[in-house]
Every structure is written in structure tokens, then in C-alpha cells.
Amino acid sequence: MPALAAESLRAPPETDPGDSRPIASEAALATTAARLAGNPEDWTVAERRLADAAPPACPVSLARQVERVRQAIVGGADPLGDAFCRLRTAAARRPTGAVYTPHNIVTAMVGWIAAKHCQPARVVDPGAGSGRFIAKAAEVFPLSELVAVEFDPLAALMLRANANTLGFGERLRLFVGDYRDLSLPPIRGTTAFIGNPPHVRHHGIDAARKTWLSDTAASLGINASQMAGLHIRFFFKTALLGRDGDLGCFITAAECLDVNYGAALRRLFLGRLGGAEIRSLAAAASAFPDIATTAAIACFRIGTDAPTLHLRHARTDAELMRPAPVRAVARASLAQSERWTPLILGGTTKATTWSATRAVLGDLFRVHRGQVTGANRVWIAGPRAADLPPRYLLPAVTRAREDVR
Ligand SMILES: C[S@@+](CC[C@H](N)C(=O)[O-])C[C@H]1O[C@@H](n2cnc3c(N)ncnc32)[C@H](O)[C@@H]1O
């Protein structure tokens, strides 16, 4: 890794200067972001509407607020993104999959790209949010052209504010729209795709867009389930946009490694996408403080098919940052395996042989606690559970089969 990148890859502090005097509403957040977001002529109509929606009650305190936010951005934090996640509840962010990535994970992922390719000609961040990945990439790759894609106009304004304050606005093309509609002009050199594709379940995807996946997957010789969520669609779009030799690193829900509707993604990863490495993060790592989830980082180089892939499990997000041994697993073994988590953890799967000495019980049996009722919504705490004592309301990482509509 070049010296320049090593210095830039130190994780910034997780701070929210809004803690001392918090930005009080999304309207105030839009107003603050707009003050830092550069030339309004570049904005979309939706962004301008947001910026104009709430004229400040007190211009002096707004100016102070803006200055505090500016200083925090320069210091390496994302006060606007932090405020967004505080103001818009996790439930309200779920339909768009807006879960922002902690800085240490962003830093580790940009570090993977830097280690594999010291200077991509272009970096693309699909579902860019407030721009954590693109801002880190701008710092580590000072010559790269930057493309961010985000369809939420408030996030777009925050991203512009970060880009303008950090001085990479000139290099940035921000596409405010749906990633599936993006086209990329050809360039000389490598494109690096990096980010955290939105995790939106198939119920939230409109019918017209659903057929897009089957058609796209079919064009790559893959049969894709309609149950696939938006994050899987982002991987397919990336495989379509990328050229041979382009590379990428996405963080996504680890369930894709094992569940049926993740099968299409696993085939894509072993095929056109050119999967190279997977790092899984234990739920206990609390990778994402506001949701109970497991996560996996998938690294790929498009169009390649190395005979082995590198797998690694990190128990904590700090472990993710440290160099550590990886397991080299034959591409063919992954292709034969229905579930990849056991391979990552160092065991075997049903598809591998009995001669393996490290089989664990879970490779041979599926053990489920609970009862089969056929009415899973009974077990999900909804409005009816309002009076239950908190000791019974436990967040759980599940196999996401529940019907929570
Ligand atoms: C998981 S968040 C990641 C945000 C940011 N990249 C980060 O890691 O901090 C996904 C983002 O994708 C955006 N998004 C959701 N659907 C999208 C779509 N179809 N096209 C573009 N962006 C989308 C959401 O608004 C959200 O900001």
C-alpha cells in the first residue's frame, strides 16, 4: 500500500458536534447542509426545494451551526450523516435501506482497494448516503474521478456539503437517482466500485423493477429469485457496469452467504463479478450500532476467476482492521456449497467430504429453537406487544423469513 494511502487510512473519530447543540429537525439539517453544498445551480429541483423549505429563524445561530459543522467535517467526522441517522428513526430509514457505515469499516474497505490497485481512474459509490465512502476514496485516491449515486435528495445535499467542504466537489459527479438507471461513460483505466448497497426487502421493490432483475440475471446465465432484495440488484447492476479488470468492495448482509434467494448473488460472485475475497463480521462486532445485523464484505475483480478465494472471519470490527491470516478456499468448493458461512468459519458444508476433520455439528444438522406455527408474525413484537416488559423484547438476528408486513 503506498505511504500516502497508509496515512489516509487511519479511521477518523466518531463524533457528532450536533451533540452539544443538536440540529433539531430534518428541515434544519437540509438548511445547514445547503449552506455548505456549493453552487445551487448544480442541484436537482428536489434538493432546491428542501433547501428552501425552512428559512432560518435566526441567521446568526445558523451561521454558528454551519461553522461548527464545517469544522467537524474538516476534522474527518460526518456530522450531517450522524444527525440524519439521529433525526430519521431506524424504522423510517428501513424502506430506503439507509444505514450509514461506521468510519472504521469504510476505512478498511477503501484500504482493500488501495492494497489491490494504488490509483483507480474512477471510483463509484452506489447508494452513497452522506458520502462516507466517496469522501474516504477522495482522500486516498487524490487523482481519481468520483461518481456518487444517491436517490434521497437530503442525503445528496449532505454529500455535496461534505464534498464542497473537503474540496473534492470538482472531481465529483453526483447522480441523484436510481443506481439501476446509471450509465457510465467508458474511461481509460480501472473503475473501483465501493459502498454499502441498500438492504431493502423484495416487498419494497415495485413490480416493474422486479422483472429487471430476472432479465439482467438471465443475460448473465443466472436464474434469480424475485425474493432478492435491493442489495442483490445493486451487485447485478455493478456486474453490468463494470469492465474486465475493474474491482470492487461492498459490505452487505451476511445472510446472502447462506439463504436461498442469495444463491443468484453467490453465482454472480463466482462468475462474472470475479469474487476474490469475503470477510464476514460477527453480529457481536456491533458493526452497525442502530440495527442488529451480521455483515459480510465482498471484494471482487470483474471478469477474473482465480482458482481460490480468500475467506476471513472477524469477531470484532477492530479485528477487521488488523492484518490477519485468511483461508484460501477453492472456487470449486464454494460453487458446490449451499451455505458459505461454515467455510468462512473454518468448518465444512454438506457438499464437502466427510474426510474433513473440522466438521462442526451445524454442518450436519440444522437446529432451530421454537415451534412451527405457520404464523410467524405472532412472534414479532408489533403494536400489540407495547405492554410487554422490556426484558422479553430482545433484538434478534434471524433468518429474515418472518412476514412483518
Ligand atoms: C446502506 S445506505 C449506505 C449509505 C452510505 N454509502 C454509507 O455507507 O454510509 C444505502 C443508501 O442507498 C440509498 N438508496 C436506496 N435505494 C437506492 C437506489 N435505488 N438508488 C440509489 N440510491 C439508493 C439510500 O437512500 C441510502 O442512502
Q: How far apart are CA 342 and CA 76, in angstroms?
A: 37
Cβ of 151 less than 6 Å from ligand 1: yes
| Cβ atoms 199, 234 nearer than 8 A | no
Grid cell digits, residue 387 = 405492554
Which protein residue has the closest C-alpha to ligand 1 atom 7? 100
Q: Which residues contact 167 (CB under 8 A, 6 or more apart)?
A: none
Phi, psi angles (nearest 5°) of residue 175: -95, 110
Q: How many residues are listed for the chain in this entry?
A: 405
Cβ of 145 less than 6 Å from ligand 1: no
Please report the beta strands in 119-262, taking only residues with DSSP state E, as ranges in sequence order: 122-126, 145-149, 172-175, 191-195, 247-253
Q: How many A from CA of 280 to the centre of ligand 1?
A: 21
User: Nearest CA to 216 among 180, 184, 185, 244?
Assistant: 180
| Cβ atoms 304, 276 nearer than 8 A | yes
End-to-end C-alpha distance for the chain, whole angstroms: 47
Q: How far apart are CA 162 and CA 78, in angstroms?
A: 8
Q: How far apart are CA 215 and CA 233, in angstroms?
A: 11
User: Nearest CA to 155 among 212, 114, 195?
Assistant: 195
Q: What is the DSSP string of 112-143?
A: HHHHH-S--SEEEEES-TTTHHHHHHHHH-TT
Q: Which of 110, 162, 196 is the pocket-test mutation for ligand 1 (most atoms within 8 Å of CB)?
A: 196
pTM above 0.85, yes or no: no
Question: Collapsing DSSP states into helix, strand and coil, what is residue 46?
Answer: helix
Q: How far apart are CA 126 and CA 193, in angstroms?
A: 8
User: Nearest CA to 160 among 74, 36, 73?
Assistant: 36
Question: Collapsing DSSP states into helix, strand and coil, what is residue 195?
Answer: strand
Model pLDDT, residue 147: 98
Q: How far apart are CA 106 and CA 192, in angstroms?
A: 14
User: Nearest CA to 226 among 213, 238, 240?
Assistant: 213
Q: How far apart are CA 335 and CA 306, in angstroms?
A: 13
Return residue ranges of the chain for CATH 3.40.50.150: 103-345
Neighbours of 223 (CB within 10 A): 10
Q: How many A from CA of 159 to the centre of ligand 1?
A: 12
* Rounded (10°) CA dihedral 369, 372, 374, 378: -50
Cβ of 128 less than 6 Å from ligand 1: yes
Grid cell digits, residue 24 = 433539531
Grid cell digits, residue 84 = 440524519
Q: Which of 80, 99, 125 is the pocket-test mutation for ligand 1 (most atoms within 8 Å of CB)?
A: 99
Grid cell digits, residue 79 = 456530522
Model pLDDT, residue 386: 81
| Cβ atoms 200, 230 nearer than 8 A | yes
Grid cell digits, residue 397 = 438476528
Which protein residue has the closest C-alpha to ligand 1 atom 27? 129
Model pLDDT, residue 260: 84
Q: How far apart are CA 359 and CA 281, in angstroms?
A: 21
Q: At the top level of CATH, which class does the domain 103-345 belong to?
A: alpha beta
Per-residue pLDDT of the chain (405 residues; tens, 9 = 90+): 333 344 455 544 444 444 457 898 999 999 999 999 999 999 999 999 999 987 777 888 889 999 999 999 999 999 999 999 999 998 899 999 999 999 989 999 999 999 987 789 999 999 999 999 999 999 999 999 999 999 999 999 999 999 999 999 999 999 999 999 999 999 999 999 999 999 998 888 888 788 889 999 999 999 998 888 999 999 999 999 999 999 999 999 888 898 888 899 999 999 999 999 999 887 545 667 666 677 899 999 999 998 999 998 888 777 777 777 788 999 999 999 988 988 888 754 443 333 334 555 555 565 555 555 556 666 677 777 788 888 877 776 655 444 443
Model pLDDT, residue 367: 54
Model pLDDT, residue 255: 85
Q: How many A from CA of 129 to the centre of ligand 1?
A: 5
